[in-house]
Amino acid sequence: MTPYAAPVRDFRFVLEEVLEHGSLALPGFEEASPDLVEAVLEEAAKLAGDVWAPLNASGDRQGCTLRQDGSVNVPEGFIEAYQAYAEGGWNGIGVGEALGGQGLPEVVASSVQEMLHGANMALGLCPMLTAGAIEALAHHGSDAQKATYLPKLVEGTWTGTMNLTEPQAGSDLSKVRTRGVPQEDGSYRLFGQKIYITWGEHDAAENIIHLVLARTPDAPEGNKGISLFLVPKYLVIDDDGSLGERNDVTCASIEHKLGIHGSPTCTLSFGENEGAIGYLVGEEGRGLNHMFTMMNEARHKVGVQGIGVAERACQQAFAFALDRVQGKSPRSRGGRECTISDHLDVRRMLLSMRARTDALRALALFCAAQLDVARHAADESEREAAQAKVDVLIPVVKAFSTDQAVEIASLGVQVHGGMGFIEETGAAQLLRDARIAPIYEGTNGIQALDLAGRKLQRDGGAALAGLIDDVEGTARLLSETPELAALGEALAAGAADLTAVMAILLEQGSDPERGPDAIQAYATPFLSLAGHVLCAWQMGRAALAANTAQQTGSRPDPGRPDPFYAAKLQSADFVIRQWLPVGRAQRAVIEAGMASLAAFEPGSL
């Protein structure tokens, strides 16, 4: 596997030139000066490139091991790499200062997350899950719970997990059977088995704080009977975090997976003996709601994770294609032996990988900036408007980024030819690792239903319509810029398709009889169209910024354009004129209707 160099220049371009440092001006971010942000990105790039990235391939080869005593060993070097991360204070960069974090803007925290996942996705999952636990406790924990658990979680001395899935309860969590039985002292005893618990057991931290969905006795069936519990691996006996006995939760097995071998995916048994001691978090019966509070951000993080792997796949493919000599360039370009990057069909693959990754990153960071506004803007209506955009964007960032990441990683394998299929090269690992991202944290089908159903129907499409207005505004600006006019036209056409399809979704989706089926039938093509249009929009903004910079900025070499901006303009051109059309085809897919889908009986064959 080739080394990983975090794309700091591109993060800075998006933050500074496309988003124009918008969120840094928000209240609460006074310390996040452009200089500080730059320093943070540079330091994170070092951690990612020098410490985490070199362990990615070896972690994949070694995987994790479940010992006889129930402990789980993670790959060599992972503990030290995790500790370097925690000791550097990285775990708290996006956490508010009130909770012991550094309270940096989400746009910065997201950039750092992308770097870490690009460097080593399997390891990146550990803090990602911890972040979810912090979020859930910060919102729903009691003051005492916050005081006891948050400091260690925020500094990263302890890690967190999310225990949702059971064999019969995957996308449908209403089927959870794990029981939480109240005790006289106010605590609970938990009994049951949870599967697919990421970093559920490991030796990289002093303690593990499990957040667990379980059902109290006599609770009603379905969603409303589910509560959220905190179950520490080691009981905490003191306010300063001193640890006592081992709790009754054990790792029964770890999974043999397609990828992310360095991340232990555990089956956890709660209460095989006296019952695992747990504490109710928030209100009884509101466990699912509490979990969903933090799910939005977790979904954004998974999208960002996909982009990180896509970026690394780009770097891997570019390095190979620029090195591999094979064939000759056409006579018009010299007719000499050349690297495969000189063949335009290979270059199409490379540009397609680069352009899509750029676009996904721009959209995810736009969404992160809206998250910052939603949390920090002084004006309530501004916060609400931003939150409405976030709600629409998150399922797109999660599902679209991860679907594309799989395709980009697969294209990376293809660029390598036969070498791509050989594990030592490293390209195949990226495909294997990426493949989980469309599945976990709510499958991409669930994301599409969230977008086409709840998010679109509840406000009659108002939030999405607002975003489409913004897309049209960018299209106009492009059209008014002579050298980018073709992009403006293409982007406007995409916006028109999305508007048309939204109308279909709203009309058919609100039909009391057929609505639920219509939403299901159209959800995935609808999300795909939205993803293409929104990514194209951000690349339209990027093109405007790059074009301005080309014309006004200083150049490293006065004789020729800055290659960064030139490449950005080529990326934007590719995204808007060669990738968006493929997404626009989803309009025809939806307009074809749902009759054949509804009539199709998979069981009849």
Taking CB under 8 A as the criterion, which residues in 160-179 touch its own copies?
165, 168, 170-172, 175
Nearest approach in angstroms of CB 341 to its own copies is 5
Tell me the number of residues near its own copies by CB under 8 A.
98
Q: Which is nearer to its own copies, 169 or 393 (CB)?
A: 169
Distance CA 27, CA 42 (A): 24
Q: Which entry of 17, 106, 297, 441 is annotated as an active-site residue?
A: 441
DSSP run (H or E) holding 279: strand 276-281
- Which H, E and C letters describe 472-538, residue by residue? HHHHHHHHCCHHHHHHHHHHHHHHHHHHHHHHHHHHHHCCCCCHHHHHHHHHHHHHHHHHHHHHHHH
> x/- string (CB under 8 A) for its own copies, residues 119-158?
----------------------------------------
Q: Which is nearer to its own copies, 149 or 579 (CB)?
A: 579
Nearest approach in angstroms of CB 523 to its own copies is 5
Q: Which of 12, 146, 383, 577 binds its own copies (CB under 8 A)?
A: 577
User: Looking only at residues 176 through 195 of this chain, which bind its own copies when binding is defined by CB under 8 A?
Assistant: 195
DSSP run (H or E) holding 205: none
Contact between 432 and its own copies by CB under 8 A: the answer reads yes
The sign one gets for the Cα dihedral 73, 75, 81, 86 is negative
User: Looking only at residues 313 through 342 of this chain, which bind its own copies when binding is defined by CB under 8 A?
Assistant: 318, 321-322, 325-327, 330-333, 340-341
User: Looking only at residues 246 through 265 of this chain, which bind its own copies when binding is defined by CB under 8 A?
Assistant: 255-259
> x/- string (CB under 8 A) for its own copies, residues 379-418?
---------------------------x---x--xx--xx
Q: Which of 98, 237, 485, 566 binds its own copies (CB under 8 A)?
A: 566
Partner residues linked to 169 by β-bridges: 166
Contact between 602 and its own copies by CB under 8 A: the answer reads yes
User: Looking only at residues 477 through 516 of this chain, which bind its own copies when binding is defined by CB under 8 A?
Assistant: 513-516
User: Looking only at residues 192 through 251 of this chain, which bind its own copies when binding is defined by CB under 8 A?
Assistant: 195-196
Partner residues linked to 234 by β-bridges: 246
User: Looking only at residues 17 through 56 of this chain, which bind its own copies when binding is defined by CB under 8 A?
Assistant: none
Q: Which stretch binds its own copies (CB under 8 A): 83-91, 475-483, 539-547, 576-584?
A: 576-584
Distance CA 45, CA 98 (A): 27
B/e letters for 161-185, b = 16+ CB within 10 Å, e = fewer, are bbbbbbeebeeebeebebbbbeeee
Nearest approach in angstroms of CB 104 to its own copies is 27
The sign one gets for the Cα dihedral 581, 584, 586, 590 is negative
Nearest approach in angstroms of CB 366 to its own copies is 22
Residues in the chain: 605
Q: Which is nearer to its own copies, 388 or 536 (CB)?
A: 536
User: Looking only at residues 510 through 549 of this chain, which bind its own copies when binding is defined by CB under 8 A?
Assistant: 513-517, 520-521, 523-524
| Helix (H/G/I), strand (E/B), else coil: 146 | helix
What single letter denotes the amino acid at residue 259? G
Specify burial of residue 604 (Cβ count, 10 A radius: 0-12, 13-18, 19+). exposed
Nearest approach in angstroms of CB 225 to its own copies is 16
Q: Which stretch binds its own copies (CB under 8 A): 144-152, 243-251, 376-384, 583-591?
A: 583-591
Q: Which of 241, 445, 466, 473 binds its own copies (CB under 8 A)?
A: 445
Q: Which stretch binds its own copies (CB under 8 A): 85-93, 179-187, 210-218, 432-440?
A: 432-440
DSSP run (H or E) holding 542: helix 515-552
Question: Is 297 tagged catalytic?
Answer: no
Nearest approach in angstroms of CB 416 to its own copies is 8
| Helix (H/G/I), strand (E/B), else coil: 273 | coil
Give 86-91's long-range contacts (Cβ < 8 A, gap of 24+).
Answer: 86/155, 86/156, 86/157, 88/43, 88/47, 89/155, 90/44, 90/47, 90/116, 90/127, 90/156, 91/127, 91/130, 91/131, 91/154, 91/155, 91/156
What single letter denotes the amino acid at residue 406? V
Contact between 582 and its own copies by CB under 8 A: the answer reads yes
Distance CA 393, CA 398 (A): 9
Q: Which is nearer to its own copies, 23 or 402 (CB)?
A: 402
Q: Which of 20, 31, 221, 424 binds its own copies (CB under 8 A)?
A: 424
Do strands 158-163 and 207-215 pair parallel, antiparallel, or not at all (unpaired)? parallel
DSSP states along 388-405: HHHHHHHHHHHHHHHHHH
User: Looking only at residues 344 through 363 of this chain, which bind its own copies when binding is defined by CB under 8 A?
Assistant: 344-351, 354
Q: Which of 74, 295, 431, 501 binds its own copies (CB under 8 A)?
A: 431
Q: Which is nearer to its own copies, 74 or 197 (CB)?
A: 197
Nearest approach in angstroms of CB 383 to its own copies is 32
Q: Which of 65, 421, 454, 510 binds its own copies (CB under 8 A)?
A: 421
Residue 304 and residue 7 in contact, taking contact as beta carbons nearer than 8 Å: no
Contact between 605 and its own copies by CB under 8 A: the answer reads yes
Nearest approach in angstroms of CB 529 to its own copies is 11
Residue 204 and residue 79 in contact, taking contact as beta carbons nearer than 8 Å: yes
Q: Which is nearer to its own copies, 384 or 423 (CB)?
A: 423
Q: Which is nearer to its own copies, 372 or 573 (CB)?
A: 573
Partner residues linked to 208 by β-bridges: 159
Give 319-328's long-range contacts (Cβ < 8 A, gap of 24+).
Answer: 319/2, 320/2, 320/415, 320/416, 320/419, 320/425, 320/427, 321/346, 321/350, 321/415, 324/417
Contact between 449 and its own copies by CB under 8 A: the answer reads yes
Q: Show which residues are catalytic.
A: 441
